[in-house]
A and B are shown apart, each in its own frame.
Chain A
Amino acid sequence: MSKVWKFVTKDPEFASLIVTTLLVTGVLYVLLGDRVFSPLGVSSMAIQLAEFGFLALGMGLAMLTGGIDLSVAAAAGLAGLMGALVMSGSVIPVTETNQTFIMVLGVVATLGTGVATGAINGFLIAKVSVPPILATLGTMILFTGLGMAITGGNTISIVVPEFSALFAGTMISVFPLMFLVLIAMFIGVAFFLSRTMAGRRVYLFGENEIALRFSGVRSERTIMMTYLLIGLLIGFAALLIIARANSMRIGYGQGYLLQAILVVVLAGFNPFGGKGRVSSIFVGLILLQLLGTSITAFGLTPYHRNLMYGLILLIVMGLNFFVNRPSRRKKPPAIGGIAPSTEAIILSDQRTTS
């Protein structure tokens, strides 16, 4: 029992998130029962969660470095588009024999495009020193624009049925394959961040980029690598997006941006960087998915859902504010925020005499 207590006091935000999620699960089970928690319902939720989860994880990584990635949804769209194009037969005609080959090519195209988008973001942020919010704003418009120019707004259909079957259809008991891949990714990234030096450098960068440089670390590499990783995650998300719809249309998934930021802030990430636990994102994902599905189950509209997300974000920010008051750091904001003012007077003493 004391072990549990220790856990709770060490990270009260995480603990309260878990408790909230359990409570919500309980309440919803009672209210909605089989409608939401049937095997089909769980699979459906799991796959939606997986699709969005990769993007959320990417957003979380960006926030750890003190930035934000506004282009996650647009990049996923572009990556999915590339894969769909390959698998639509317009590039190489699809025949009886080359289906698997085309599918593999399509997967490579999707993942590759994802990583490429990460490379572009990483280049702008690391090598040109464009503030992350502006760089990703620009790439968001660029990626969407690229997709629109290529498709003209039309939908591209995939003609390789194995693809959808594999990525959207495969189930292990009640859980979709990609959901398990997501979990594996979370575990991998969590391990990377907490147990490797390269991962720790991500936190250090977000906390104090200057000190990182002064410690002799190639800080530009750290950022570049982070955004490449985000790009890979975006690629996975894209695979799932096109697998579920068996097609791709630009503009799909636009609402994900607000949700991604919501879930990361919900998970206790500091928008200024340097603090955040990856496993919290996963719990946040579950919570959000439950809420989102129930909204639909209750017969409410997407507008209700967005309203709810906005409210939750405001409430969570308010709570975090009160919880985090003593440890707020004086750091120049990276995403258009405001530096706390009273701290500066007190902190300025540390630099000089008193």
Chain B
Amino acid sequence: MLKKSPFRMLFNRAMNPMERLLSIVIVLYIAFVSIRNPLFFGPQALFDIMSTGAGLMILALGALIVLISGGIDVSFAAIAVVASYTAARLSMVLEIDNLFFILAVAIAVGAALGSINAVLVHVYRLPTLIVTLATASVFHGLMAITLGMKTFTQTDVPQSMIDFGRWYIWTIENEDGSRITLSGFVVITLGVMALTWFLLYRTRIGRSVFAVGSNEESASRIGINIFATRLFIYSYVGMLSALMGVMYWSRLYYINPDILYGFIELSIIAAVVIGGAKLTGGEGTILGALLGLIVYQLFTNTLVYLGLSPSWSQLFFGSVLIGMLMVIYYRQRQANKKALVFSTV
């Protein structure tokens, strides 16, 4: 009689070792910080992490899909900026202050840019890292030249975006009148997670993503349309990135096209890799990506609870990242040695 753990009943699979390790790390960290600073275990910190993490998780889902297919996309942050900036500017110029309009334009631009990535990656057969590094530069540069790099403050940002950013699903009033809020973005993120799960595990094209990442030659031999699969992957990533971009500005009610791009991509990819996605393709779970992102969030945003200045966050995260990499890959190295597998890929 197999004893089914609650996890297994919910997810229909066992937790993989990486997820287990991460969960332990997260629980230990939270316990450690909560003991040192009880404030940490309150709704303020939790809501904060969830609200800011919502957008990042959407980006992480995009990065995850590309990794599963065996590639690395570093252009998603650039696409997020370009798509949302274009949409916001268009809204301002045409004076259509409608959230759905902005989202629609952004997502359309995101899909288009993603498709360009798909075409180049498919045709060039060169490392996706380098191709997307180039396209990120081109997308952002074109935007800078055509639309300019003007920043917009609260007075100019479309009201619909500001309202969107102020959408809260939970508000707690403090005695002193201040409020702790949980952004409605969390709902959107949960929805995107569910959608992504559905696409990856219940549709043919989603399974093709795994197939292509696992063994591209076999996939093409079977007759899977590799190009269509790539088109799906990269345009989906583009759309997710665009959505995140709009969410991001909305929450800040401030639009600056100079940030995000060049700063966040590699950290997101690092988080997803910590979560168990492999460079070689075919592997990676949504839960893993979530856990990896939580680790990223915890180690970069919560240092203030430990009394450390934010300047330490990258060092912390970098150390954790290197530590996890060492664990993952040393284990793999030993296993390979034992199984007489010499190829390191």
Any chain A CB within 8 A of the CB of B7?
A: no
Interface of A is mostly: helix
Any chain B CB within 8 A of the CB of A321?
A: yes
Q: Is the CB of A337 within 8 A of B71?
A: yes
Q: Is the CB of B72 within 8 A of A144?
A: no
Any chain B CB within 8 A of the CB of A340?
A: yes
| Closest residue on chain B to residue A213 by CB atoms | B342
Q: Indicate whether A128 sits within 8 Å of B333 (C-beta atoms), given known contacts A133-B129, A149-B312, A344-B217.
A: yes
Checking A306, A310, A334 against B345 with a beta-carbon cut-off of 8 angstroms, the contacting residue is: A334
Q: Is the CB of A141 within 8 A of B342?
A: no
Checking A130, A137, A210, A304 against B329 with a beta-carbon cut-off of 8 angstroms, the contacting residue is: A130
Q: How many whole Å from A264's CB to the nearest CB in chain B?
A: 10
Q: Is the CB of A301 within 8 A of B144?
A: yes
Any chain B CB within 8 A of the CB of A139?
A: yes
Q: Is the CB of B144 within 8 A of A345?
A: no
Checking B279, B311, B322 against A152 with a beta-carbon cut-off of 8 angstroms, the contacting residue is: B311
Enumerate chain B residues within 8 angstroms of A190, measured Cβ to Cβ. Answer: none
Any chain A CB within 8 A of the CB of B184?
A: no
CA distance A306 to B135 in the complex (A): 10
Enumerate chain A residues within 8 angstroms of B345, measured Cβ to Cβ. Answer: 131, 332-334
Q: Which of A11-19, A195-203, A312-320 forms contacts with chain B?
A: A312-320
Q: Is the CB of A317 within 8 A of B262?
A: no
Q: Is the CB of B217 within 8 A of A317?
A: no
Interface size on A, residues (CB 8 A): 63
Q: Indicate whether A134 sits within 8 Å of B344 (C-beta atoms), given known contacts A128-B333, A141-B317, A317-B130.
A: no
Q: How large is the interface on B (under 10, 10 to 19, 20 to 34, 35 or more residues)?
A: 35 or more
CA distance A321 to B322 in the complex (A): 34
Any chain A CB within 8 A of the CB of B309?
A: yes
Q: How many whole Å from B77's CB to the nearest CB in chain A?
A: 13
Any chain B CB within 8 A of the CB of A341?
A: yes
Any chain B CB within 8 A of the CB of A8?
A: no
Enumerate chain B residues within 8 angstroms of A131, measured Cβ to Cβ. Answer: 279, 329, 344-345
Q: How many whole Å from A3's CB to the nearest CB in chain B?
A: 33
Checking A143, A145, A307 against B142 with a beta-carbon cut-off of 8 angstroms, the contacting residue is: A307
Any chain A CB within 8 A of the CB of B124?
A: yes
Q: Is the CB of A138 within 8 A of B325?
A: yes
Any chain A CB within 8 A of the CB of B326?
A: yes
CA distance A318 to B120 in the complex (A): 9
The residues in A between 295 and 354 inclusive whose CB is less than 8 angstroms from any CB of B are 301, 303-304, 306-311, 313-314, 317-318, 321, 328, 332-341, 344-345
Q: Indicate whether A137 sits within 8 Å of B266 (C-beta atoms), given known contacts A68-B129, A142-B319, A338-B125.
A: yes
Q: Indicate whether A130 sits within 8 Å of B325 (C-beta atoms), given known contacts A314-B138, A335-B129.
A: yes
Enumerate chain A residues within 8 angstroms of B317, measured Cβ to Cβ. Answer: 141, 145
Any chain A CB within 8 A of the CB of B134?
A: yes
Q: How many whole Å from A271's CB to the nearest CB in chain B?
A: 5
**Could you tell me which B residues sit within 8 Å of A by CB distance?**
70-72, 120-121, 123-131, 133-138, 140-142, 144-145, 149, 216-217, 220-221, 226, 262, 266-267, 269-270, 273, 279-280, 309, 311-319, 321-322, 325-326, 329-330, 332-333, 336, 342-345
A-B contact pairs, 23 of them (CB 8 A): A68-B129, A128-B333, A130-B326, A137-B321, A141-B314, A141-B318, A142-B315, A146-B315, A148-B315, A149-B312, A213-B342, A258-B137, A306-B140, A307-B144, A310-B134, A310-B136, A314-B120, A334-B345, A336-B70, A336-B128, A338-B127, A339-B216, A341-B220
